[in-house]
Structures are given as C-alpha cells and as structure tokens.
Amino acid sequence: MINTNDGYYFASSAQQALEGMHADNPRVLGWMELALTFLTTVAVKFFPVDLNTVILYMPAVISSLVVIPMILIGRLYGQTLLGFFAALIGSIAWSYYNRTMIGYYDTDMFSAMAPMFILYFLMATIEKETYVNALMAAFTIALYRFLYDQGLSIIYAMGLIYMGYMVLFHRHQKFTYHSIILIAIALMPLQWWIKVPLLIAAHFVFKNESVSLRHLMVIAGITLVLFLINGNVFGVIWSKVSGYLFRGTEEVGLHFYQVSQTVREAGTIPFSVMADRISGSVPGVIAALIGYLLLVMRSRPFLLALPLIGIGVFSLWGGLRFTVYAVPVAALGAVYLFYVLASYIPNRKASWAAVALLTGLMLFPNIKHIIGYKVPTVFTKEEVALLDKMKAIGSERDYVITWWDYGYPIWYYSNMNTLIDGGKHSHDNYIVSRVLTTDSPKEAASLSRLAVETYVDSGYRVAADTLFRNKQPDQVDTEAYLEQLRVGEVTLPEPTRDIYLYLPLRMLDIFSTIKVFSNLDLQSGQSYKMPFYYVTGYAKQSGNLVDLGNGLRLDLQKSVLQAGRQSLPLRRFVITEEHENGPVGKQVNLLHFDGTLSVIFMRSANKFLVLDEEMYQSLFIQMGVLENYDADLYEPVILSPWAKIYRLKI
C-alpha cells in the first residue's frame, strides 16, 4: 500500500479505466488527462503487473530520471563528472527523497525532474544556439502541464527569464526571436496535443531564411503578448504566492475558514528546516547558495534556475512543500563550490578526490535521513479490510461523510463517493465539521442528507454555497437554519442513495482541527471560543496520580484534573474496551455534577481523552468512541476497533 493520501486520487482514475469503477463519481480524473494516470493505466494494461504494484514502485522509477538533465548540464560545460556528483545528491536529498520515495505515488515525482529537463534544454539553447535544442525546450515546456501543472508559475518564470536573457544579450540574432516564438507558444494554455503540431509548424516556417529579423521580432512580440494575456501569467504567479501568504477566513459572502490555515506543509518553517530539506544540513544549503551565485558569475545562463532556487527559499514563508523544487539546482551549486575550492589543490587527482570527499560529506546526512525515515501507509491493513466490506455492502452511487483526509482512499477501496476530499475541501468542510462536532444527532443526519442530495442535484456544485445561498441576495442565516434542522422544521429531500458516516479511530488526533472549521459564525467570520479537547497516548501512573503530559495530571482519588496549580473537578470518568465482535464495553462513572471536564480512557487504543462537555457530546465522540447513537436515525454497519461506520436511515 502507498503512503500518500493524494495517490489514491490518481489511482482511482486508473481503476476507472481498467475496472470500470467510480462511474458515479464526478471527481475522478480521466485517465488521459495527466501523465501519471496515463502511464499507470498503460503499465497495468500492457505489463504483467497489477495496479497496486505499479503505484507502489512508480515514484522511484520516474523521479530517478532527474539525474539525466543534471549530468547533461555538467556535460554542457565540459564537466560531466561534476554533473554526476551533483546527481548523486540531487536524486536523494532529503526533500526530494521524501516526496518521491517508493509508495509516494503522486505527481511530485515530476515536480523537480520535469523542470530540470526544461532548464537543461533552455541552457543548451543559449549556449549552442541550435534549433534542435530550442525545439526540444519548447516540447518539454509544452508537455509540462501534462506532467505536473502545479508548478506552472515556476515554468512561466523560467520562460520569461529566458526571453529577457535572449533579448538582452542576443537581441540582434534571428535565432533569438525564433526561439522566443517557440517558447511563447509552448507556454500558452493549450492542450499539449495542440501545441506540439503548432510548434513543429512554427519551427519550420520561421526557420526559413526568407523571414527577416524585423518580421521575427514582430511575431515574437505578438506571441509573447498572446501568452501573457491568455496565460494569465501574473495572476497565476500571484495566486500561488498569495494563497500561501494570506490565510484565515474569507472576506466576501459567508466567512468560511480556509483550509491552508491548517495544512502543515503550508506553514512557515525555520531556516534550519529549509536547509535540511534542500541540502540535508545548514552547511550544505549555505554551500549550495554560495555555489549557485558562483555558477551565475561563471555562466549567466544559470540565471534560468533562479525560479527553482528562489521557490526553495520562499518555503520559509510558503511552507516545506516548496523545498523540493530547489534540490537539484542546490546540488549543482554545492558541487560547483566544492570544485572551485578544490581547484586550489595543485595535484589534479587530489583535487578530484577532495570534490568526491566533500560530496560524500554532503551525502551523509541525506543518507542518514533516508535510513531513519519510515513512513506508514495511509491506512492500515485492518482499515482497508473495513473498506472492502463497505464495498460489498454499498454501491458506487452512495456517499460517505468523513473528513477530507480519508476521501481518496475511500474512493479507491470502497468504490463510494465523498462530499469532501483531498482536492475538494473548501466551503463544504464547514458542513462535514458541523456534522462531526454537533451534539444533535438530528441536525447531523438532516444536514448530511441535505448536503449530499443538494450536491448531486445541483450538478455537483459546492453544497454549502448552494444550500446556504452564499453571496446571493437571499443568503441564508446559517445559525437559524441549523437550529431549524435540530428541531426538524426543514423538509428533507427524498433519499436517492445511501449515506454513511465513517468515524475512524485515527480521527481522534485531528478532531480539534476539524472543530475549527465549524467553530465560527459564518455571517461575521468571528470564531467562537474553542472547546477543550486533549488526546494523548502518554500516561505514567504513580500512586493515585496519572501524568498525562503537558502539565496535566489525573488525581484518581479526588476525581480532579490538575492543570498547573488548578484542580478541576471531573464530571465523569469513562473507560472503554473494544471487542473484535460485538459492541464496545463501557464503564461510565459519574463524579462531580458541577464538573466541566470528562476523561475517557480507551483501554484498547491506550489513549486518554480529556474534553469538555461540548466535545464530549459531539457526534464523533458519542458515536465514534462510545457507540451511543439514535436508532431512529442511524444504523450501525461496521463497529470495529479501527472505525465505526453508520448508515443514515432518513
């Protein structure tokens, strides 16, 4: 099994092409829309391997191709061995390995590899001024959207730098404008199968000697303007930057909470983390940055790599996901610095030995990281077995209400649909969060039915926007509407499919984050006071005191929770014990009527929950932990130590 949630999005696309699954899932990508799904489907169809094997090993196969352009860049400047040393680092450095290792089935396998091919061909075009290299550069750029469209702003920047460079230093040559025409066409937002014939035609037309320099300049200017307008270049770049710099609630219409606020990869990171992820260490990244500056001073075409190294530095503000782009260029920079330092050694063999030694020293922390980096699979074997059971129980028309982290794996293993998933997790996060955290089973069931039926009936528009009339003159007062759901004053649509609640044990660790998305007034955007929730697998008992970590101690004799100097009376102490077959065992001890906190000891999972009354009464805790449910609204389908799954009866 793979170790990245998003991988199941692409794997589901291959399933649809190979097995005919997900016919009623509008979110499944066509298998020919991206190189990853295309290559996966072709591999399974024409080679004696199954889908699970292909998605497990493909990242390592594809991502390793990054060594080719790195060695070729070294060879371009007569230093193939330096390219080889850099390739050793660039192909396994911390961030690159993390996002391309076996099991990390995602388009990230193309993230740095594809731009490095583009970089090589652009640099070769400048250095050699051959039409073949210009055409190859254009082809690789044209294919980029098919390979990895998320880094489009970087390719835009590289293309614009190339054009500026050529005009600045080679403005009197016809070749300059010929290549600019090709690059501008390649960058345009057209399908690759349209751009490739256009590029071939443009190449042969404008290569003709009868086309004057003036005409080429005019045509190059026109194609550049067309690209800038149609490609929305600055809008694309700004949206990427602003999306990671400005976070919080939305300002227009209803004020939904933005998901980037809670994504770990989108948070600011310290310099040491950036250094480790790009080069394996702080000295390594400093060597890389100095080496890159020396490369630019030695050969100006390395300016084209500035967007790649720059986006790596931007990770300090944008988040650690951006570090991977800088890894190969940083490796080239570091090795070049080693070469410059070693050049002061008179003996040639000793000089190269020094480069090899310094390269080995830089490799060491990265290899050490790889040895210790153990990533669990997205789901456990036991969880997958539950989803297999769901696949047999339900149909591909049915929907599962759960947090977006589990959306894609649920598609893949259960052949069902979800309201939110790894790519669709915006305003509908509010609805799912409300379902999971409300203390009203009636509200949760009604909102689930309304959201799913509204989503399907509206042609798969965002359910929250449709249901609440977001940004419309008749925008709904959400608090009043949800109160009507609690008391049953809203007429529900006729059921057209089954709806399931998926409440996994692993959700305990993110439950407070889930609460954030509905813990606000959508009209004003103001957050309510966060309820108290604490989960820990740490517990150390000494007599009547149980240390729960973070300054919390449970006094079993006095039935109080000690938090620093405070002693807080407990309302109840609950012990649960899971059974493989049958309902959960529960022992509920009522303690202090005026207590505001409860403690749940989940013996089977070895977890303690400390939570206030609001969180204790939430649907997830009541149904997912304690198995307390309204039999008129819900039917338990699977009750397992790993997850509780219920079917709506309304």
Question: Do 562 and 555 meet the contact criterion of CB atoms below 8 Å apart?
Answer: yes
474-505 pLDDT, tens digit each:
999 999 999 999 999 999 999 999 999 999 99
Other CB atoms within a 10 A radius of the CB of residue 459 amount to: 8
pTM over the 0.85 mark:
yes
**Mean pLDDT across 551-577:** 94
The pLDDT of residue 579: 84
pLDDT band at residue 245, thresholds of 50, 70 and 90? Answer: low
In SS3 terms, 26-50 reads as CCCCCCCCCHHHHHHHHHHHHCCCC
User: What pLDDT was estimated at residue 554?
Assistant: 95
Confidence of residue 446 (pLDDT cuts 50, 70, 90): very high
Are the beta carbons of 630 and 441 closer than 8 angstroms? yes
Contact between 154 and 236 under an 8 Å Cβ cutoff? The reply is no
Q: What is the C-alpha separation between 327 and 309, in angstroms, rounded?
A: 8
User: What's the confidence (pLDDT) of residue 234?
Assistant: 74
- Residue 415: the pLDDT is 97
**Residue whose C-alpha is closest to residue 91's, from 115, 112, 122:** 112
What are 629-636's contacts with CB under 8 Å, separation 24+?
629/441, 630/441, 630/442, 630/445, 633/441, 633/442, 633/445, 634/441, 634/445, 634/501
Alpha-carbon distance of 436 to 532, in angstroms, equals 16
Q: Mean per-residue pLDDT for 402-421?
A: 97
Does residue 171 come out as left (phi exceeding 0), alpha (psi in the -120 to 50 range) or beta?
alpha
CB 625 within 8 A of CB 511: no
Q: 349 pLDDT band (50/70/90 cuts)?
A: very high
Q: What is the CATH number of domain 379-650?
A: 3.40.1380.40
Q: Which residues contact 578 (CB under 8 A, 6 or more apart)?
A: 584, 585, 602, 604, 605, 640, 641
- State mean pLDDT over 40-60: 97
**In 451-492, at which residue ranges do the beta strands (DSSP E only) sit?**
none
- Written as six digits, the tokens of 190 are 């057209």
With pLDDT > 70 as the criterion, what percentage of the chain qualifies? Answer: 96
- What pLDDT sits at residue 241? 63
Q: Is 118 in contact with 140 (CB distance < 8 Å)?
A: yes
CB 280 within 8 A of CB 369: yes
- Which candidate, 531, 435, 430, places its Cα nearest to that of 476? 430
> How much of the chain exceeds pLDDT 90, in percent?
89
Digit-coded pLDDT (tens) for 507-521: 999 999 999 999 999
Quick: pLDDT tens for 175-208: 999 999 999 999 999 988 999 999 999 999 988 8
Q: What is the pLDDT of residues 16-34, one digit of tens each?
A: 999 999 999 999 999 999 9
At residue 78 the predicted structure's pLDDT band, cuts being 50, 70 and 90, is: very high
How buried is 329 (Cβ within 10 angstroms: 0-12 exposed, 13-18 middle, 19+ buried)? buried
Mean pLDDT for 578-588 is: 88
Residue 233's pLDDT is 77
pLDDT at 363 exceeding the cut of 90: yes
* Residue 349 exposed, middle or buried by CB count within 10 Å (0-12, 13-18, 19+): exposed
Among residues 100, 99, 189, 181, the alpha carbon closest in space to that of 144 is found at 189
Q: Which contiguous run of DSSP H or E holds residue 379?
A: none
Cα–Cα nearest to 8, from 425, 408, 420, 416: 408
Strand ranges in 305-428 using DSSP code E only, listed in sequence order = 399-401, 417-418
DSSP code of residue 625: I
**pLDDT score, position 264:** 53
Instruction: Name the DSSP class of 528.
Output: P
Residue 627 has pLDDT above 70, yes or no: yes
Least confident stretch, 21-30, 81-90, 237-246: 237-246
**What is the predicted pLDDT for the residue at 260?**
62
Amino acid at 610: V
Q: pLDDT value at position 464?
A: 96
473's CB contacts (< 8 A; 6+ apart) are: none
**Average pLDDT of every residue of the chain:** 94
Say which residue, 338 or 268, is predicted with more confidence: 338
Where along the chain do its domains lie? 50-372, 379-650
> Binning pLDDT at 50, 70 and 90, where does residue 244 land?
low
Rounded Cα distance, 605 and 386, in Å: 17
Query: Could you tell me whether strands 533-536 and 607-612 are parallel, antiparallel, or unpaired per DSSP bridges?
Result: antiparallel
Secondary element (H or E) of residue 515: helix 511-516
Query: CA 471 to CA 309: how far, in whole Å?
Result: 40
> Quick check: 379 pLDDT over 90?
yes
pLDDT band at residue 268 using 50, 70 and 90 as cut-offs: confident
232 pLDDT tier (thresholds 50, 70, 90)? confident
Of all helices (H) and strands (E), which one includes residue 316? Answer: helix 306-318
End-to-end alpha carbon distance in the chain: 35
What is the pLDDT, as a whole number, of residue 248?
Answer: 54
Dihedral angle of Cα 114, 116, 121, 126, to the nearest 10 degrees: 140
* Separation of alpha carbons 122 and 158, rounded Å: 9
Find the mean pLDDT for residues 318-329. Answer: 93
How high is the pLDDT of residue 262? 59
Residues in the chain, how many? 650
